[in-house]
Amino acid sequence: MGRIAGRFTRVEPRRRAREFVLGLLSDLPRKSCWTLAEHAGNATPYGLQHLLSRAKWDAEAVRDDLRSFAIEQLHDEDAVLVVDETGDLKKGTATVGVQRQYTGTAGRIENSQVAV
C-alpha cells in the first residue's frame, strides 16, 4: 500500500483502500461492501461505498503504480495484468448496482450486477 498511498488526498480513503484490498484478497465466500466492511471491523459499509463513489483519488495513477509493481514482480517488461468483469444475476432491483444490462454470465440482457 505504500506504493499507492500518495494517490489519496486524505488518510481516510487511503485506510479504506487498504481495508478494501485486504477484503478482496481474503477468503470471504461473498464479497460486497457489507461483507468487506464487516471483515475490516466496520459497523456499516458507508466508508467503503464513499471510497468507491465519492472520495478523491487518482485511479489512473493507482493503475499505473500497480502495473509497475506487476512488472517488477514478474521481471518481464511485456507482462500484462488482466482484469475481467463478472456478472451476478439478480431477481429484484434492491441490490446496489442492479439493472437490466448485458452480462456474459447469462449471455443476454438480464437483471444483474456487474463487478470487476
Give the model's pLDDT for residue 30: 85
Do the beta carbons of residue 57 and residue 4 sit within 8 Å? no
pLDDT band at 67 (very low <50, low <70, confident <90, very high): confident
Measured CA to CA, the distance from residue 49 to residue 66 in angstroms comes to: 22
* Region of residue 23 (phi > 0: left; psi between -120 and 50: alpha; otherwise: beta): alpha
* The model's pTM: 0.66
pLDDT band at 26 (very low <50, low <70, confident <90, very high): very high
pLDDT band at 71 (very low <50, low <70, confident <90, very high): confident
pLDDT band at 86 (very low <50, low <70, confident <90, very high): confident
pLDDT > 80? residue 53:
yes
Question: What is the rounded average pLDDT for all residues in the chain?
Answer: 88
Do the beta carbons of residue 38 and residue 20 sit within 8 Å? no
Mean pLDDT (whole number) for 49-64: 91
